[in-house]
Each structure stands twice: as C-alpha cells, then as structure tokens.
Amino acid sequence: MKSIKFLTLILLLVPFLAFAQDDYSFDLSEFEKEMEKKPYSVGGYLEFMPKIFRLDHDAAFYKLNFYNRPEKDYLDEYDLKLSMKGGYEKGISRVYIRSSINTTESDIKSRTDVTIDEGYLSVKPSSIFNISIGKKALKWGKGYAWNPVAFIGRSKNPDDPDLALEGYIMASADYIKSFSGPLQTISVTPVVIPVYEHVNSEFGERNNTNYAGKLYLLLYDTDLDFMFLKGNSKPSRFGADFSRNITSNFEIHGEFAYIDDITKKTIDSAGNKTETTCDVKSYLLGIRYLAESDTTFICEYYRNGTGFTGEEIEGFFNLVDNGYNSYVSSSDETLLKKAKTMTEGSYGRQNPMRDYMYLRITQKEPFDILYFTPSITCIYNINDKSYSLSPEILYTGITNLELRLKAGFLTGSDNSEFGEKQNDYRIEFRARYYFDAANLFD
Amino acid sequence: MRKIMIFLIAMMFATPVYAIDGNELLKKVDRNLNPDSYESYKKLINIEPNGKKKEFILFTVKKGKDKVAAIFISPASEKGRSTLRLGENMWLYIPNVGKPIRITSLQSVVGGVFNNSDILRLDYSSEYNVEKMEDIGDEYILHLKAKTKTVAYDKLKMWVNKEKLVPVRIECLTETFMLVKTIYYKNVTDFGGGIMRPAVIETDSPLYKGYKSVMIFAKMKARELNDEVFTITFMPNLDSLR
C-alpha cells in the first residue's frame, strides 16, 4: 500500500515538473511518417485513480454495506486500469476490439476484472451503408447526464458521463442518405439483440431475440431521432430526441421515452415486496451555453418515469434502519439481506428517484493557462432537495497525459437520496496516460 | 445640373461594381487556397510562451461550400476524435463518449489560439461579403463582413498577394473592431495538381499574449466525396477515408 501512496505523490507532482522545449520548428519527413496509415491500430490508456471517502455512519447505505465490518471513518481505494483497443482493416472489412483490466484495492475489497467492452466485425461496402456483428456500445440520446432513450445501452454514470461503456452483442447496420434542402440527412439503424444464457444475459429476460431501431434526420438544422425497442427481454418502448443550435453558442436538446407495461418492485419498512405494472414516460430537457468568457453551462432537467416516489424510497431507508437495529440488538441479518436484494439496479442505482436537475459549469483555460479546465457539477434531487456538488480541475498540458483532481460532496437530510449515500464526501485523483502502440508492430 | 445628375448616377453604380469585384476576388482566393472538394493532412502546433509545444495531426476532407470533416490521428489521447461542420452546425465525436455532440464555432477542440471554425474552415466567400477593397501596390486589402451573426468573427481584414491571389495576413475583428487574432499565411508551396498555396498558417492573439498556434498543411489533393461522408452517422468511420 505504501508504494501505491508513493506513486500517487509522484503523479500529483508531475504537473509542476515544467519542462521547456525548443521553439516552433517542424520536420516534414517526420510529419510524412506520422501521416502514414497502417492497416492495424493498437492503443489505449493506463489509468491510476486513488480515492478517499469520508464515510457517513448514519447513512442507510453505510449501514447496509458496513454493518458486519469494523467501524471506519475513512476508506481508501486504489484503482488501476489498463484499457486497450485495437483494429485491423482489410478492404471493406474491419475488426475492432476494446477491452479493459481493472484492479481495485481497498480495505474492504480486492478484485480484478477483465472485460471485453467491445469486439465486432464491420463491413462497409460504401459510405452509405455498413453492417456490424459482435459486441458494440451504441449510445442513443442527446442528454449529457442522462439518456432515457438509450434503449440498447447501459446506464451511464451522471457523475462521470463521458466514461466509455461496455456494449451488448448485437447485429446492427447504418444506412445513410444525404439530400439538399431542409432535410439534409436521413440515416436508419436497425439492431438485433439476442438474449440467452451466455449472450447478453444481463440485458433482460433470457431466450428472446429483441429488435430495436433508430431513424435520424437532420431537418432544418435540427438533429432528430426516433427510436424503439421491441422484444420480450424488456418492456417495449419508443422514444424521440432532438438537438439544435438556437445561436452559435446556445444549444437546446431533449429526449422523450415511453415504456409500455413496466413492472416496478418496491419494498416497505417491514420488508414486504410489492410489484406494480404501469406505462411510464421519462423525459429530459437541456441546454448548453457558451458565454463570451469561455464558460460553458450545461443544464438539464430529467423526469425519471421509472423512479421511486419519496414514500417508496423512505420505506427502503426505514427497512435498512430497522434491519441495522435488529442486527445490532440480536445479530439478525434477515431484513438487511432483504434490503440488499433490492439495491442492484433498483434502490442502489444512480439517481433512483423521479425529478432531477443537473448543472455543470466549465471554465476553459482561466488566467490564460492553456489546457487547464476547472469545472463544478451539481446534481439536485428536486423531490427531496438533496444534492451532490463536485468541483474538479483537469490538466491536459502534457501530451498524452490527462490529470484530474475531483471531489464530491453529498448533502441531504435523513431519508433523502444523497443524505443516505455511503459517504459524506470523496476526493479522487485520476492520472491517465494514453499510448499508441501501432509502431511496435512495424 | 445635368452633369451633377450624371455624376450621381455614376456614383450609385460605382460602389456595387467595386463590391462585385471584391467578392469575385475572394472566390478566386478561396479556390487558390483549396479545390472545391479535397482531402488534406494538417499538423497543429500550440506553442506556449515558455516554448512548450503540443502537437496534433488531423486528416481533413471538404466538399463544396459548407461541408468539412476532420479526424485526429495523433496524439494518442486525441486519436479517433472527429469533427464535422455543415454550414454553422458543428459536431464533435469522441470515441469514449460514443456519440456526436453539438459544439460551437468559438470553442476549440484542441485548446490554443485556433478555434473550431479556424480548424474546420469553410470558403471565406461562403461566410463573408467584401464590403471594401483597397489596392496598396503588391497587395489588396479586403474588408470582409460576416453574412450572418453565427459566423465566428464579425469582420475580417484580409491582405491578399496580388500575384498569387492568396492571403498573406488576416485580422479577425469583432463587431466593434476589437482585434481577436491575426492569422499569417506563409510558405507558398506547390502541392501538385495545380494547388499552389501557403503551407503554413500561424496565428497569435492579444487575448492569449505570448501564445502562438501553427497549422501546417500536407498532401492536399482534389478528391470527389459522397455527401454521406459529411453526416454524424459517418463520423466514427472517417478514418476509413484515409
């Protein structure tokens, strides 16, 4: 652990080890070499991310995750990740793979995961048509923090929405047609997603083949998408999204999703489970505005139709409290175990309630410091008035090295979403080094 | 009285004729800078006051007046990022993010003095009208005014080499004539296929004192491209055009 802490210190100091290079000059022969295209590509990044969490002993998720462990005020965690991607192109065909090895070390867990995030074959007979088969991450929707219309993608983390996600095994195609006039582009993306025991088993109910599709239009300078998912693995759903620049520095976007006959599972403070089936609507409206001061504002409102009401989530938090009290008084874990079964993809998911606001303010290169970007992000739960506030600074001034220091402060009353999270705040540092290893194969 | 009338009528026609000449000249400058439809490589170098540099290499394709796309091929941290411009609509595709997002012409995908509209440059004549033209011996000075409010710079003052009809220097100004940046065109080079243009563009800005950005062009050649290449659906596949 000491060596990891030493590595952290060294990485924190890297930005201050300024080095000067020669003034502007260029070597055309070197440029020629850099322009050369190889049929294969190999690259990726190595990431080291130490984190420290200040734990909240009164919070429901602390009690649920730590009830049978020694009491702790702080939790250190060290993540080391190697993400690799490679491709090989021949004629109209291309094979692409993206995988990652992620090691996490902390006082409560030590684990290594190897994931094939994407791996597919694509064939592109012309610029208007291509077809792909394999594991692929398709991200639908125009929202920055949330995407209610991402019917065939995994949920992204609104606290870090730019992270690459794992895909699903599917067959998909793109057909594109351009026109002159108000309708400039049409593209159609049909998708087939099988769900069986060893294929996309986490997508939904097994032994089904699901069909999805997206129609994209660029109409009157507005991006418009219409999408659907039909099959027996998940309730059928359809939706639409749009994005448009009102002025060159002001963009608006939105999404709407309708889900047919979705079953919602809730649990009350006594551990009784209830299932209700209904149709739900989710939607999002957002803006992106760039001020003259080079400050970017992203603001979104999200209505999560599948989310819990205040009463429903309070029932879950009370169950955890009751379970914890039973455990302390009689070592009875029954209620806590019942609560644990309801966390995965349900009460424990990111932003499980109904109405949220998101605001992110980013200042590009303040004080004329190139490649230095401070930001602050707030996710506000309108229903219970709890929120998270995350300031961060990003420095990308050293070629292929990205350094980010980020904190996250959670505030909320008892029985509120952010008030009942496991920690009060966290501080994390991320050093990511990108590399291109294609030259090693020359 | 009759002479005054003739003089006034002559003056009424004089200004538009002058403007048409300027606009025709600007179109010639555009065609000398690049073919109507082409591909090219660009190296961008951002230089800080202490001499520290950061370099990017892009592959660019352009078609007609309003379609341009580019993909980063270096450094590794930017590789695979692509940008698309259709008129004043601009998108950025980041492989990790996995979907195109709208960006604005005033932002910069690379940091430094060049912004997105400098990197994804359309023909000057598609965005600007010539308001006034001056003849100063070896050069013309064209005073350009943006056709719409959505253009990155409201006014340009362009010095044009009379012999080669390519820009020598451009001052980018706001509506209130505040200087935003100056762009210098250097090293006129024969790219083959009848393309003879400056291979190096340098820029500095009073807003970024001491900083400089340089764009070097290579392998520019005319190329026929399908319109479908300039769509957000095609953005992840731009590298296949190389």
Measure the CA–CA gap between A368 and A374, rounded to whole angstroms: 13
Q: Which of B79, B101, B149 faces A436 most closely, judged by CB atoms?
A: B79
Reported confidence tier of residue A19, pLDDT bands at 50, 70, 90: very low
- Sign of the C-alpha dihedral, residues B17, B20, B25, B28? negative
% of chain A beyond a pLDDT of 70: 93
- Mean pLDDT lowest among A163-172, A245-254, A279-288: A245-254
Q: Is the pLDDT of residue A433 over 90?
A: yes
Query: Which residue of chain A is at minimal alpha-carbon distance from B231?
Result: A185
pLDDT of residue A187: 97
B118 assigned to some structural domain: yes
Scanning A349-368 for CB atoms below 8 A from B yields 364-365, 368
Spell out where A11-137 has E strands: 40-55, 74-90, 93-106, 110-126, 129-136
B104 assigned to some structural domain: yes
pLDDT of residue B16: 43
A33 assigned to some structural domain: no
Cβ atoms of residues A73 and A55 within 8 Å: yes
Q: Is the pLDDT of residue A328 over 50?
A: yes
Query: Which residue of chain B is at minimal alpha-carbon distance from A30?
Result: B43
- Angle formed by the axes of helices A310-330 and A334-341, to 10°? 150
Cβ pair B111:A141 closer than 8 A: no
Shortest distance, CA B77 to any CA of chain A (angstroms):
5
Cβ pair A187:B95 closer than 8 A: no
Backbone dihedral angles phi then psi of residue A9, each to the nearest 5 degrees:
-60, -45
Low-confidence residues in chain B, pLDDT < 50: 12-19
Cβ pair A21:B53 closer than 8 A: yes
Domain hosting residue B62, numbered range: 24-241
Shortest distance, CA A435 to any CA of chain B (angstroms):
5
3-class DSSP state for residue A98?
Answer: strand
Mean pLDDT over A398-403 rounds to: 94
Cβ pair A216:B41 closer than 8 A: no
Structural domains of chain B, count: 1
What tokens does A96 get? Answer: 């692409």
Q: Which residues from B are below 8 Å from A37, CB to CB?
A: 73, 239, 242
B199 touches chain A (CB under 8 A): no
Task: Return all residues near B29 (Cβ < 8 A) that are at least 6 apart.
Answer: B124, B125, B158, B160, B165, B166, B167
Helix (H) or strand (E) holding A391: strand A387-398
pLDDT of residue A380: 98
Reported confidence tier of residue A410, pLDDT bands at 50, 70, 90: very high
Cβ atoms of residues A169 and A200 within 8 Å: yes
Task: Return all residues near A405 (Cβ < 8 A) that are at least 6 apart.
Answer: A392, A393, A427, A428, A429, A430
Measure the CA–CA gap between A268 and A41, rounded to whole angstroms: 53
Q: Which of A11-25, A178-192, A329-343 tops mean pLDDT?
A: A178-192
Cβ atoms of residues A294 and A365 within 8 Å: yes
B7 assigned to some structural domain: no
pLDDT of residue A26: 58
Mean pLDDT over A233-237 rounds to: 96
A414 touches chain B (CB under 8 A): no
**Residue A60, number of CB atoms within 10 A of its CB:** 25
Q: Which residues from A are below 8 Å from B238, CB to CB?
A: none
Q: Is the pLDDT of residue A32 over 90?
A: no
Which of B77, B110, B153, B239 has the highest number of chain A CBs within 10 A, making it the mutation to test binding with A? B77
CATH of the domain at A389: 2.40.160.100
B5 assigned to some structural domain: no
A434 touches chain B (CB under 8 A): yes
Task: Return all residues near B164 (Cβ < 8 A) that are at least 6 apart.
Answer: B32, B188, B196
Mean pLDDT over A344-363 rounds to: 92
Token pair 């060596």 is found at: A3
Cβ atoms of residues A375 and A394 within 8 Å: yes
DSSP state at residue A368: G
Helix, strand, coil in percent for chain A, rounding step 5:
15, 55, 30
Count of alpha carbons within 13 angstroms of residue B157, beta-carbon side: 11
pLDDT of residue A74: 96
Q: Is the pLDDT of residue A76 over 50?
A: yes
Nearest-CA neighbor of A321 among A58, A54, A66? Answer: A58
pLDDT of residue B211: 86
Measure the CA–CA gap between A60 and A321, rounded to whole angstroms: 7
Q: Is the pLDDT of residue A414 over 70?
A: yes
The length of chain B, given as a count of residues? 242
Measure the CA–CA gap between A44 and B231, rounded to whole angstroms: 26
Token pair 């993206």 is found at: A98
CATH of the domain at B97: 2.50.20.10
Mean pLDDT over A29-39 rounds to: 84
Cβ pair A20:B50 closer than 8 A: yes
Which of A176, A220, A289 has the highest number of chain B CBs within 10 A, making it the mutation to test binding with B? A176
Q: Is the pLDDT of residue A20 over 50?
A: no
Over chain B, what HEC string results?
CHHHHHHHHHHHHHHHHHHHHHHHHHHHHHHHHCCCEEEEEEEEEEECCCCCEEEEEEEEEEECCCEEEEEEEECCCCCCCEEEEECCEEEEECCCCCCEEEECCCCCCCCCCCCHHHHCCCCHHHHEEEEEEEECCCEEEEEEEECCCCCCCCEEEEEEECCCCCEEEEEEECCCCCEEEEEEEEEEEEEECCEEEEEEEEEEECCEEEEEEEEEEEEEEECCCCHHHCCCCCHHHHHHHC
3-class DSSP state for residue A256?
Answer: strand
Q: Name the average pLDDT for chain A.
A: 91
**Is 0.90 surpassed by the pTM of this model?**
no
Structural domains of chain A, count: 1
Q: Which of B88, B208, B233 faces A176 most closely, judged by CB atoms?
A: B233
Measure the CA–CA gap between A265 and A308, rounded to whole angstroms: 10
Q: Is the pLDDT of residue A8 over 70?
A: no
pLDDT of residue A213: 98
Angle at A81 between CA A76 and CA A83, to 5 degrees: 160
Measure the CA–CA gap between A248 and B168, rounded to whole angstroms: 28
Task: Return all residues near A110 (Cβ < 8 A) that are at least 6 apart.
Answer: A104
pLDDT tens figures, A81-131:
999 999 999 999 999 999 999 999 998 889 999 999 999 999 999 999 999
Q: Which residues from A are below 8 Å from B102, CB to CB?
A: 223, 243-245, 251, 253, 288
% of chain A beyond a pLDDT of 90: 80
Domain hosting residue A423, numbered range: 2-9+39-441
pLDDT tens figures, A208-218:
999 999 999 99
A289 assigned to some structural domain: yes
